[in-house]
Structure 1
Amino acid sequence: MTAMSGHPPDKKSDGLLERLRVTFQAEADEHLKSMSSGLLTLEHAPSGESKSLIEAIFRSAHSLKGAAQAVNLEPIGVVCQSLESVLAALKAGRIELAPPLVNLLHESFDTIGHLLSMDAVSLGRPQPLAVTTARRLDDALKEPPANVEQPDEPATEMPADMPYVAPSVAPETVRVSIAKLDTVMRHVEELLAPRLAASQRLLELREAVAMLATWKKQRARLQPALRVIEHSLLAPTPGAAGERDGRGALNGAANRKQELLKLLEYLDGEQVQMKVLEDHLAHLSRSAEHDQRVLTGMSDNLLRDCKDMQLLPFSSLLEGFPRLVRGLAREQGKTVELLMQGGDIDIDRRILDAMKDPLIHLLRNSIDHGISTPTVRSAKGKPPQGRITVAISQKDSGKVEVVVADDGVGIDVAAVRAAAGKLGVISLQDGGGADEQDALALVFKSGLSTSPIITDVSGRGLGLAIVREKVEKLGGSIAIESHRDAGTAFRIVLPLMLANFHGLIVREGGQLFVIPTIHVERVVRLPHSDIRTVENRETISVNGQAVSLVALGEVLEMLPSRAGQAQRDSILAVVVDMAHVKMAFRVDEILGGHEVLVKPLGRQLVRVRNIAGASVLGTGQVVPVLNISDLLKSAMKQVFKPRAASTGLAHDKGDIAEKCSILVVEDSITSRSLLKGILETAGYQVSTAVDGVDGFTTLKTGKFDLVISDVEMPRMDGFDLTAKLRADKQLADLPVVLVTALGSREHRERGIDVGANAYIVKSNFDQSNLLDAVRRLV
């Protein structure tokens, strides 16, 4: 391909170029993914397979260069041109695939990715980053490694204008924008409403047929009596009796007889009309049943086909993870192997999009907190290289399980209990009483972190809370397993598809509710005698396990209406299980399971506690769909009294702030004033010092609850000040927060080594980060 000619642009050509660039963007993303995954495979591939992998990467780079030149995106073409030259040299054996070259190739792919994220106007101008990357690639060709045998014949490179021809014919495809696909999917999903309505009309028609049949039976039972009346009326009457009664009485009896005969005649004709109506209703019922069956089949097939278009293999999400893990591990001086299993399982694209950030956070978490450096692992008898596994498996027809596991240090349960006690989630006295599984579940609490250091990517205790929130928003659940020095595993259960699902419709207090069946373990009917009281709460036995029993209406704070059920011989309860938490909800009536379509509540009701959305039944009735995660949390609050309240740990944050005295050590008057202002606005008492020496003197002569210090200062920097405090018996336990512009891994590690409790990088400074760190430490 060659670049477009330089004729003066017009509106028509501009429009064509714009459409071409949209197509190019999708094509470029595919080529970049192919090159990245190919290079990652090449790093560990046997020598016999390396040539074919290099060839595949080379062809992708060549195609990307041609496509970029076709839409006048010169910076991308410049990088791809130099990339081609390096890959051609690798093919020919003129250079070796050494680690520095591998890193350079990965950085080149990152540069291309960055350029692809820029707008067309910016890419129309020279980009220094592209020029620098191209120059570094060209320089790599000038230093061929020693002892490399040169080939007898020079390798032939693909001409720049020769298009790449695929070796095999792929199925024909067409690109459709995601927005259009989502619109079609919504329209198809809406077919569920008229389908349910048709089912309801068929049910009502069947009820009408049944009513007519009942009427017909009752009418048939009257026939013998009507015949007797008819015979008596038609029997001859003695003439003398008529004469004695008089002429008027005779005429009256004759008239009544005539009217009764008309009534009997009508009733006889009614039987014929009833038969015609019965045949007509039977015909309508058969037709409605046929139409409903056809509509169900067509809508099911259409919905299935549209769902298939929305399905993507899990591997499409996993493609970028090896590079991510490799880069994060290199930053921290660690070596990590990433194993991925089950990537061929298809799942809703919308779920994949929503799960990208949570899975990335779990991988970061494993590398940052789980996997140790090779030296530490070797000292513990482990292989120097850590291992992270992402395994996807299908649990049943509607659910998939994603397990992210590492073989790292595991989670320190004692540290979790201590952090939870300090945060006020549990009492410091009772924290040790929580069993290990309950303590592990505390890591999902917002603000809870066991990290000894706060950086720009971890230590604030928000990540896992956000992960759980996003998983539960998709209708899934997350649980954690961990063993000290053996590793940690996060188990995520997700639905395969969003939108319509099966729900259990229940009635409570005169109101209908939908409970997603994905979280329903069972429905039970029990006599009142089976309810037991354990620790002042009602429980029932489910598979030998005591499960708390709560009234759904009370959890939803509805008006009490338990009188009717109290008079019954038994109770109905729905046992719900989510992330190893079980709860039985008592209801008035269970109407059965139905396929439902969840509709959002609208912008005015974006977040309603305990409610995930609404569904319209076939009858036209709008029914709330319950949010199981919220429902369990609300039930737990009702069943268990908050421990913090009973121990006096729940204080007002403002009261805590007013009691705390903080020393800010900073040589810059601007930064010093900024920090002082932020802290005083939050209610803390603040003193200042101009450097480490001044700060240490101030600390020896006053009483403070926390130190916030810069690192780079004259006379004594922040590292030395922290080390001096840790060596002093009186100040050894004083919390220290380092706020600095030094954000490298070495500086963060040095901050940890000298004993800092938090390390905040100024380039990522946010006053909420600072205040979060202070609240955790005081």
Structure 2
Amino acid sequence: MNRDQLVQQLMATFLDELHVHVSSLGRDLLALENNLSAEERAEAWTSIFRAAHSLKGASAVVHVDPIHVACHRLEDIFEFYRDSDQTLSQETTSILLKVVDAIEEIGMRIRAEQGIEGAPLTEMLPQLERLADQVTGTDSVKEDAGSVKEGAGSVKEDADSVVDGDDEFDDDDDFEFDASPAVEQAAEKTERDAAPKMPPINAALLPIFLEELEDRCASLSQDAIAMESVTDPGERDELLANLFRSAHSLKGAAGVVKLVPVQELCHRLEDELESIRSGATEYSTRSATAMLEAVDVIRDAGSQLKAGRELDLGEIESRTSRIDDLLSGSAEPAVADTRPTPETEIADTKPAEPKQLPEETTEPVAVESQGKLGLETKSEGKTPSPKRVKSDQGASIRVPAEKLDALLSHSGELLVARGRLAFRAKDTAAVRDLAAELRGTWRENEQAMRDLGERTIDDGDIANPRRIAAVIEHTASRLTALSSRLDALASAIESDNRLLQQTCGLLDDEVYNVRMLPFSDACGGLQRAVRDIATGGNKKIELKIVGAEVEVDRSVLEGLKDPLLHLVRNSADHGVESPAQRTEAGKPERATITVSAELRGGQVQVRVEDDGGGLNLRRICEIARKRDIEVPDDPREQARLIFAPGFSTAKLITDISGRGVGLDVVQSQVESLHGSVDVSSKPGLGTRFTLNVPLTLTTIRSMMVKVADQTYAIPTSAIQRLVRFGPDDLRSSAGRDSLLLGEAPMVVASLAQTLRLPSKGLLAGTAAKGLAIVLNVADQSVAVVVDEVLSEQEVLVKNLGSRVRRLRHFSGCTLLPTGKIALVINAANVVRTALGMKLDLVAAARASASARKQTVAGPDTHGRTLLLAEDSVTTRVLLRNILESAGYEVTTAADGQQAWELIQEKPFDILVTDVDMPRMDGFELTAALRGLESAADLPVVLVTARGSDADKQRGVQAGANAYIVKGNFEQQNLLETVAQLI
């Protein structure tokens, strides 16, 4: 490692350590202002002293002298208070917190590669010295403070003295380096770009500030709302401390980047919180409203800066004046004009537009004094500022979301590579079987050729059988060697495949866990939304979050935020009655909205339910008829009318509802997550929305099907069952096709016709039986006819891209092990389309079946009975489908023992059986049948994964009539073999 690399590594480590210690100092200093027990105080002082001591040592290593001197003085102060057990005054705490902020500001300067000369910490050191002298009663260490001014400039000389022309370090070398490059140039440029009346915004630190702003605003909003309902004094003090800490930290950060309006607003909040903490002012609804409006101002400013737009200082000043009026009591919280209703109206809140990620800038930003705050950047390479992933449990680090996405992409490609290797392993096994077959053929002819060699023929004759026999013998030996090598190669590939599979599984699990976030992250703005609507509508509403700790994939959580906000606002604005109406109905004045999350297999079920008046089905049907929407008879289906595009029952257009951007947006967003949404309601008792979404969008379990010679993936979460049917199982009424399942008919549709592809199988007359997959989405079921079911597997879902993303029946695509692409079916849209189709499949199926009986060539399979023994459910379903499609009457057995019992009960025309099965394997079953008089001549076909010569020989010895290896399995080969034996 050369000198520059070592310097960068050490400085990066120091900055990470600085962030941890600064956070600890700020948190513990504020905690000491609360009424802590003696044990808690001792623990807090120990933590504070340890942080200052560690930071002093670390700053000495990297020669950041201002921090080193400041931490030395802080140690003296902390040691005095720790040992004397005296209480810190608020004034002293404020000074110490400012020092901590100044230390953090130096870290931000270094991280942004700015100079530290002239930093606020250097100006604060004399004050810190005096404070240390006052509390400890010692003389100030003047030389330490004086040396700081030269510290930044002297560091480079120390670093240059370490290495003389050598780029490499030995382990025992000492080193020093410059922590403040280009200070003079940065200072000159700042002065040049500064506006005459306001300091320049520090554009290099702005991305870091904007990232912190999001966290601080979220904390302020959450704690401000919680303060309104807290009753426990201890919890109240803790919330106040959190509010003060957030406002204080945000004020300091705004000061660092010279964002004066935000800094002044946070200072005003600090004053108010200090007044509340001292008991001079009571925390009220007015206080909470002021806090939340201040958060809105700060957030709006941050959003504009992220987008590179100018800030309207006049608007900020106006809104800040409104906040001052609220705090002083000269203004009242605004009351929105919302109309309470006894039954739920369908609100139409437009989901927020996606926020643009901030772009990094490298030049200082000037502030115009005429009332506009603008950003001027000259950076050519702009990159988005990464979002943070936070965790409250255990150690955590910041990981940019784009890096996780890249890691996930690589993991997915590895998954594809694993599938390709498995495919190649099958190919190798097939070659091995071919070589074994050739070797067997040569062996059969060897003896005949030796007999030919006994004839007397001229040795020079080229057709001499002896020479031919020698060639054959040599070739046979080479084939034996080839077979041996192929056996070894196949075994090695299979071993490598198992190892790769295990590695991929572990990597997949780790990436999956890294992306998981608690469900509470999707509920961040819900509390605020409910409070605003309740305050504006004079309602009393309590929001409960259940299952906040349930972990869901980050991309799923992001996709749930807007739908949840929309549904919660809808419940608060229209689902919940006024207190008077609730009292009249015998309900508590305070309504409850519950947002819950629960794991269900590979999915998470999210519910948004209220105890309001329920859906007004009469009005919903009334509006549907006015819009020429067909109204069903089933009340559950009537409730689903609210998901129609632009559907709204709100009579009053407000900023919350009535704009025609309704629940269809929620439905489309949830379905884009491969999920579904449903609604249920009880008059007078409330409404429940149920969202079912997968835990992750990266890989999904899918059923691979074939339609019109194309392979498609259908998510198994939408599949209820597989069904085989014949023409007589279909029914038709008023152009609507249905499939009789037991006693209940179910709507049936052809996936081929839904996708506008040519039909095959039963509908085309090429098979006697049809195969349907029953899809169930939001309690709506449709039997979808497919040509063939191939397998069930995990698939990596890729986006379709901008050119084809509007294909409504597909939600993505995946790469198959063969290298081909398969489209992923959007089950919800297929069900919706199928329910609206009116195709006479019944007539087509019966006509095709009749034509098939007249034209189909080959053996007559009608009435032929076949027993299929297979322990694998998937393989059993596939084989049964193949054989029934050919016209055989198939009975299945789960193992050899069950097959043995069935054969003794009734006769069969042929047995198709696996080898490796529980209780009785295929070899044992075949041998047993040959000893049974009634089944001694029963044809037996072994279909197995075993492909060695020894296994084939054992099968022949047991009495099998045919031996088919699954690795080389072909549907036509099986059908031809069965037909030949019958």
Normalised TM-score (structure 2)? 0.56
1:227 and 2:447 correspond? yes
Per the alignment, in what secondary structure is the counterpart of residue 603 of structure 1? coil
Verify: 1:517 aligned to 2:697, yes or no. no
For 2:627, which of 416, 423, 444 is the aligned residue? Answer: 423
8 Å contact from structure 1 (residues 78, 131) kept in 2: no
Does structure 2 conserve the Cα–Cα contact (< 8 Å) formed by 1:550 and 1:585?
yes
Q: What residue identity is the alignment partner of 1:497? A: T
Q: Distance in 1 between matches of 2:442 and 2:727?
A: 45
Q: Following the alignment from structure 2 to structure 1, what is the Cα–Cα distance between the partners of residues 798 and 320? A: 51
Change (3 A) 1:444 1:543: farther
1:452 counterpart residue number:
651
Does 2:229 match 1:44?
yes
- Provide the residue aligned with 1:200 in structure 2: 423
Distance 1:395 1:333 in 2: 38
Structure 1 residues 219 and 638, CA, compared in 2 at 3 Å: closer, same or farther? farther
**2:226 aligned with 1:27, yes or no?**
no
Q: Structure 1 residue 593 and structure 2 residue 792: aligned?
A: yes
User: 1 CA distance for matches of 2:806 and 2:398?
Assistant: 35
Does structure 2 conserve the Cα–Cα contact (< 8 Å) formed by 1:339 and 1:387?
yes
Aligned to 2:435: 212
Aligned match of 1:86: 272
Report how far residue 232 of structure 1 moved: 5.2
Q: Is the 8 A contact 2:762 2:770 kept in 1?
A: no
Aligned to 1:490: 689
Give 1:132's aligned amino acid. S
CA distance in 1, matches of 2:409, 2:716: 22
Q: Of residues 400, 406, 414 in structure 1, which corresponds to 2:618?
A: 414
Instruction: Tell me the residue number matched to 2:189.
Output: 9
Instruction: Describe how 1:290-309 pairs up with structure 2 within 5 A.
Output: 290-309=495-514
Pairing of 1:540-551 with structure 2 (within 5 A): 540-542=739-741, 545-551=744-750
Gaps of 5+ in 1: 142-167, 238-249, 642-778
Displacement of 1:594 after TM fit? 2.0
**What is the alpha-carbon distance in structure 1 between the residues aligned to residue 753 and residue 740 of structure 2?**
21
Equivalent position amino acid for 1:38 in 2: D
Does the aligned pair in 2 maintain the 1:86–1:140 contact within 8 Å? Answer: no
Q: Distance in 1 between matches of 2:763 and 2:403?
A: 51
Q: Does 1:354 align with 2:543?
A: no
Secondary structure of the corresponding residue to residue 615 of structure 2: coil
Aligned equivalents of 1:292 and 1:325: distance in 2?
54
Partner of residue 608, structure 2: 404
8 Å Cα contact 1:83-1:137 kept in structure 2: no
**Cα distance between partner residues in 2 of 1:134 and 1:435:** 52
Look up the match of 2:526: 321
- Counterpart CA distance in 1 for 2:675 and 2:225 is 32
2:811 equivalent to 1:612? yes
Instruction: Give the 3 Å change call, closer, same or farther, for CA 18–425 of structure 1 in structure 2.
Output: same
Q: Counterparts of 1:659-674 in structure 2 under 5 Å? A: none
Change in CA separation of 1:294 and 1:568 when aligned onto 2, cut-off 3 Å: same
Deviation string for 1:535-558 (max 9, x for gaps)? 654433447542222222122221
User: How big is the shift at 1:640?
Assistant: 8.0
Give deviations 1:398-424, integer Å, cap 9, x for gaps.
Answer: 200110001111111122112111111
- Counterpart of 2:591 in structure 1: which amino acid? G
Give the conservation status (yes or no) of the 8 Å contact 1:82–1:137: no
Shift of the 536–334 alpha-carbon distance from structure 1 to 2, 3 Å rule, reads: same
SS of 1:117's equivalent? Answer: helix
Task: Check 1:460–1:18 CA distance in 2 against 1; reply closer, same or farther (3 A cut).
Answer: closer
Q: Which residue number corresponds to residue 116 of structure 1?
A: 302
Distance in 1 (CA, whole Å) between partners of 2:750 and 2:392 is 61
Question: What is the DSSP-based 3-state SS (H/G/I as helix, E as strand, rest coil) of the residue aligned with 1:525?
Answer: strand
- CA distance, structure 2, for counterparts of residue 55 and residue 64 of structure 1: 14
**2:303 alignment partner AA:** S
Distance in 1 between residues matched to 2:303 and 2:462, nearest whole Å: 98
How has the CA–CA distance of structure 1 residues 507 and 47 changed in structure 2, closer, same or farther, with 3 Å as cutoff?
closer
- Report the equivalent of 1:18: 203
Contact 1:230–1:261 (Cα < 8 Å) also in 2? yes
Residue aligning to 2:154: none
In structure 1, C-alpha distance between the alignment counterparts of 2:191 and 2:633, rounded to whole Å: 70
Q: Return 5+ residue gaps in structure 2 as ranges.
A: 1-100, 106-118, 121-185, 195-199, 331-390, 841-982
Aligned 8 A contact 1:79 1:134 in 2:
no
Q: Is the 8 A contact 2:525 2:565 kept in 1?
A: no
Contact 2:220-2:291 within 8 A present in 1 as well = no
Shift of residue 136, structure 1, vs aligned partner: 4.2
Partner of 2:401: 178
Deviations 1:615-650 (A, max 9, x none): 221111122222212211221122489xxxxxxxxx
Residue-by-residue CA offset, 1:45-103 (whole Å, 9 max, x unaligned): 22332112212221222222222212222222212222122222222222222332232
Deviation track 1:658-681 (CA, whole Å, cap 9, x = no partner) reads xxxxxxxxxxxxxxxxxxxxxxxx
For residue 503 of structure 1, report the CA deviation from its aligned partner: 1.6
Residues 134 and 273 from structure 1, CA distance in 2 versus in 1: closer, same or farther, beyond 3 angstroms?
same
Corresponding residue number in structure 1 for 2:283: 97
Distance apart, 1:210 and its partner CA:
2.5
Shift of the alpha carbon at 1:442? 1.0
Give the AA of the match of 2:454.
L
Amino acid aligned to 1:33: A
Using the alignment, how far apart are the partners of 1:536 and 1:227 within structure 2?
Answer: 71
Per-residue deviation, 1:495: 0.8
RMSD value, Cα = 3.2
| Contact 2:453-2:464 at 8 Å conserved across structures | no
Residues 271 and 592 of structure 1: CA distance in aligned 2, closer, same or farther (over 3 Å): same
Instruction: State which drifts further: 10-19 or 539-548.
Output: 10-19
State the AA in 2 paired with 1:554. Q
Q: Which amino acid aligns with 2:321?
A: T
* Residue 556 (str. 1) matches residue 755 (str. 2): yes
CA distance in 1, matches of 2:215, 2:809: 41
Q: Aligned AA for 1:405?
A: E
2:571: which partner in 1? Answer: 366
Q: Offset of 1:7 from its aligned partner?
A: 4.0
**For this pair of structures, how many residues does the alignment match?**
592
Does the C-alpha gap of structure 1 residues 302 and 140 become closer, same or farther in structure 2, counting only changes over 3 Å? farther
Match of 1:376 among 572, 578, 581: 581
Q: 1:260 to 1:499 in 2, by over 3 A?
A: same
Q: CA deviation at 1:333?
A: 2.0
CA distance in 2, matches of 1:591, 1:317: 38
Q: Is the 8 A contact 1:475 1:495 kept in 2?
A: yes
Q: How far does the alpha carbon of each residue in 1:436-464 deviate from its partner, in whole angstroms, 9 at most, with x for none?
A: 01111111011322223333432244310
- Measured against aligned partners, the alpha-carbon deviations of 1:354-386 in whole angstroms (never above 9, x if no partner) come to 221111111121122211111122222221222
Moved more, 32-41 or 354-363: 32-41
Whole-angstrom CA distance in 2 between matches of 1:492 and 1:362: 11
The Cα of 1:483 is off from its aligned counterpart by 1.1
Contact 1:322 1:338 in 2 (8 A): yes
Change beyond 3 A, Cα 1:439–1:391? same
Q: How far apart are 1:314 and its partner, in Å?
A: 1.1
Q: What is the letter of the counterpart of residue 220 of structure 2?
A: M
Q: 1:500, 1:598 within 8 Å by CA — same for their partners in 2?
A: yes
Q: Deviations over 1:292-339 (max 9, x none)?
A: 233333333333333333221110121221111100121222221111
Contact 1:192 1:299 in 2 (8 A): yes
Task: Judge which range, 45-54 or 407-416, deviates more.
Answer: 45-54
Shift in CA distance, 47/499, structure 1 to aligned 2, threshold 3 Å: closer
Residue identity in the other structure for 2:676: S
Pair 82,280 (structure 1): closer, same or farther in 2 beyond 3 Å = same
Amino acid at match of 1:577: N
Q: 1:105 to 1:33 in 2, by over 3 A?
A: same
Shift of 1:530: 3.7
What's the CA shift for 1:22?
1.5
